[in-house]
Amino acid sequence: MKAKVCLVGEAAVGKTSLIRRFVVNEFDEHYVTTIGTRISRKLVSLRLPRREVDVSLMIWDIMGTKGFRQLLQGAYFTLAHGLLAVADITRGGTLADLQGWIDAASRVTGPIPVIVAGNKQDLTEGAEIGPEDVARFAQGSGHDFVMTSAKTGEGVEEAFRRLATRIALRVVGDS
């Protein structure tokens, strides 16, 4: 099956770095602002309880500027199967801002699976929010969460695979 996954979150939370780590297992220290949208692909093989399924993820990256959320939301979110909502644990406000991104997507897609990623887990000394804050936010909205670090790779594969699994179960079921 094919699945469109959109990453959402404010600028510089690490959306592009998470995608790069997941798709090509690389990390670049230099921040480069995403202009417009960028699409990456990766095939994920999943073992559901009663069957195996290959999911071709089309991973959409969007610039994190709030003004562009309104401008691009129709084209960006149309036909999306799931969201990876990314917050930067060193900037507490980025977690609260995720609700606006999730709401914008939901207006276009209806309810779809969402995984909240508390990113930059490698920077715990400068953290403004911890795993309990990310859990409270995610679970309060009925979503799952994963703590991630694009730099070390911690939780990255898990976040994307968990989202792909939820999408597969929703789209093809497990019968």
Question: pLDDT tens digits for 91-149?
Answer: 999 999 999 999 999 999 999 999 999 999 999 998 999 999 999 999 999 999 999 99
CA distances from 123 to 28, 129, 164, 170 (A): 16, 11, 27, 34
> Facing residues of 55 across strands?
44
**Domain housing 116:** 2-171
The rounded mean pLDDT for the chain is 91
> What are the helix (H) ranges across 26-123?
66-77, 93-96, 98-109
Q: What is the pLDDT of residues 43-88, one digit of tens each?
A: 999 999 989 999 999 999 987 666 665 666 778 899 999 999 999 9
pLDDT of residue 62: 80
For the beta sheet containing 52-62, the strands, ordered from the edge strand earlier in sequence to the opposite edge, are 37-47, 52-62, 2-8, 82-88, 114-119, 144-147
pLDDT of residue 59: 97
Give the whole-angstrom CA distance, residue 80 versus residue 61: 12
Q: What is the CATH number of the domain that holds 143?
A: 3.40.50.300
Q: What are phi and psi of 22, to 5 degrees?
A: -70, -45
pTM above 0.75? Answer: yes
pLDDT of residue 30: 75
Domain count, the chain: 1
